[in-house]
Chain A
């Protein structure tokens, strides 16, 4: 039953959505690395234009990156909506038709009753017509299982929230919102990767191989959580423009742990001559970066242990072992990119690559954990679920 909703087209589209999301994260990374996030002061408009009508001749300097980010975000939002509707299969045709007609009707009302919103009305009308047109040739696959459809809707909710956070970052002038925007972007990427995985036949194949190694599953989850923490630390550093709060690596201001007394901070700031940022180095920023460095070492160690564990318990042929090997490679690349970010004086392309590989690492860890869960024997899964629900009786029974 579960297989019936899958098709090659759906798998390709879901993968395309994931790739677009990674591209969007990368462009967002460039925006933050170059410090041009506020180059378009208004939102959701762009210099007063509906963003789809903003003339290309005005895409100057930082506007080019920020506006590209917004357009690409719209595309990812559209892809996510299409994917979520696709997961509902053939019955979505009626929804598309009704939604399309409503959009057209709404756009007509906007055009008639409001002034200066003709561009917005045009975009809405176009979406409405496309929605109606699509409904006639919509894929005839069966609906995906309920939990998959709900995941699709959660992705739509996440992408909408993400767009809102991006807009509020601009209109409220708050760096802190940028931190959440950066973290949610990568969590959303994990969700889309999971959808792509579930939409493929690989998902079924994973379920065919049952493994009895709870240590691997726990380790996978632990590694994923560590990467999420690292993502939070990194996003905080980036949105405080504190990537060069410590300008050397592997040492920190010439030592293993830098001093953060008043005299030292004055000295650091006197010598800090960044072209692209005007933020003074603070004790908090230094401690934050040191925590980021230490966590990176822990993640590297944890990924190596995970590889050893999977190879030892499962052998080299199973996907879980191969993925854990890929994870080690990703973590090593990510570690190197972190070092090069500092050595290159935080060159925008390297800092952005650090963000993109970080997103891939997180998604890899997340998928590894999901696969480990999927390949767990049904009985073990039920025991764990019961444990999570706080039902000790089942646990005792299992012993």
Chain B
């Protein structure tokens, strides 16, 4: 009888601790942003212009028909008691393609590898200037279709700017977290934070131009839905 009670108590303590649930949701934009601008310099550039048949435009607000907002970094801001282990082996990829960075916004964990590719047949320089001490600035050339460059960042930082100054319209933003509970929304505005341990959290959705919005959630054994809306100020 005693061992049954002991088992029950252990189960009550251990099982919830091993539960992990997904937090999913959709980020939408309230309000109508100004129209994106055509990147005339790209089309007029002797080398880059040849790589594009479309009309290249800025990607400040990538918004779906229903207001779904892409390129929003969603992450657990408060409430984590553990950081969730080492950085994953799988690297995050950032490509220079058609004289643009693809994707525009990425996120990774501290010490996780960032593989920087150059799919273009021409030279780009990668000018990175983090603001948080410990994250190293660099400015390196990468030849057309040249070998990949692999970088890591040691400290959390939001929206580290990646720029090419040879083609000064090229920008990308890399956010770094010291835990694995983050995601970047796709074109449908959706995100998924996987295997979040039980607990009460504040999650934040941060769009580089639109700003940020937070939500409190409680995670138990069931998946949680946390839809949020970023509002353009009137």
Contacts and interface: CB of A to CB of B under 8 A. Distances in A.
A226 B47 CA distance: 44
Given A38-B139, A267-B233, A60 B168 contact: no
Contacts of A266: 211, 233
B168 A36 contact: yes
B167 A61 contact: yes
Interface residues of B, number: 37
B169 A61 contact: no
Interface stretch (B71-79, B106-114, B119-127, B188-196): B119-127
A275 interface: yes
A35 interface: yes
A37 B164 CA distance: 10
A273 B211 contact: no
A232 interface: no
B177 to A, nearest CB: 21
B132 interface: no
A135 to B, nearest CB: 41
B218 interface: no
Contact of A62 (B33, B37, B165): B165
B167 A62 contact: yes
Interface string A2-14: 0000000000000
A269 interface: yes
Contact of B137 (A35, A173, A271): A173
A263 interface: yes
Contacts of B65: none
A278 interface: yes
A63 interface: yes
Contact of A61 (B37, B45, B173): B45
Interface string A24-60: 0000000000111111110000010000000000101
B168 A276 contact: yes
A115 interface: no
Contacts of B166: 36, 39, 60-63
B103 interface: no
A270 B33 contact: yes
Interface centre among A60, A61, A276 (most CB of B within 10 A): A61
Nearest to A48: B141
B34 A271 contact: yes
B2 interface: no
Given A173-B137, A270-B232, A275 B169 contact: yes
A58 B233 CA distance: 45
Given A34-B168, A37-B165, A173-B137, A270 B125 contact: no
B18 interface: no
B83 interface: no
B38 to A, nearest CB: 9
Contact of A60 (B60, B123, B127): B123
Contacts of B48: 61
Nearest to A33: B168
> For the side of the interface on A, what is the size category?
20 to 34
Contacts of A36: 165-166, 168
B135 interface: no
Nearest to A63: B166
A267 B37 CA distance: 19
Interface string A246-266: 000000000000000001001
B165 A270 contact: no
B174 to A, nearest CB: 12
Nearest to B129: A173
Contact of A38 (B37, B45, B125): B125
A278 B233 CA distance: 20
B28 to A, nearest CB: 15
Contacts of B122: 60
Contacts of B211: 266, 269-270
Nearest to A40: B125
Contact of A39 (B39, B46, B125, B210): B125
A87 to B, nearest CB: 39
Contacts of A61: 45, 47-48, 166-168
Contacts of B203: none
Contacts of A60: 46-47, 122-123, 166
Contacts of A278: 161, 163, 171, 173
B216 interface: no
B217 to A, nearest CB: 24
A173 B169 CA distance: 19
Interface in B170-215: 171, 173, 209-211
B210 A270 contact: yes
A225 B143 CA distance: 47
B140 interface: yes
Given A38-B127, A270-B33, A272-B209, 15 more contacts: A36-B168, A39-B166, A41-B127, A60-B122, A61-B167, A62-B165, A62-B166, A62-B167, A66-B165, A270-B210, A273-B33, A273-B60, A275-B37, A275-B39, A278-B173
The 10 tightest CB contacts between A and B, nearest first, are A39-B165, A267-B233, A35-B168, A41-B139, A61-B166, A38-B165, A39-B166, A173-B137, A62-B166, A38-B127
Interface of B: 33-34, 36-37, 39, 41, 45-48, 58, 60, 122-123, 125, 127, 129, 137, 139-141, 161, 163-169, 171, 173, 209-211, 232-234
12 contacts: A34-B168, A61-B166, A66-B165, A263-B233, A266-B211, A266-B233, A267-B233, A269-B209, A270-B232, A273-B209, A276-B168, A278-B161
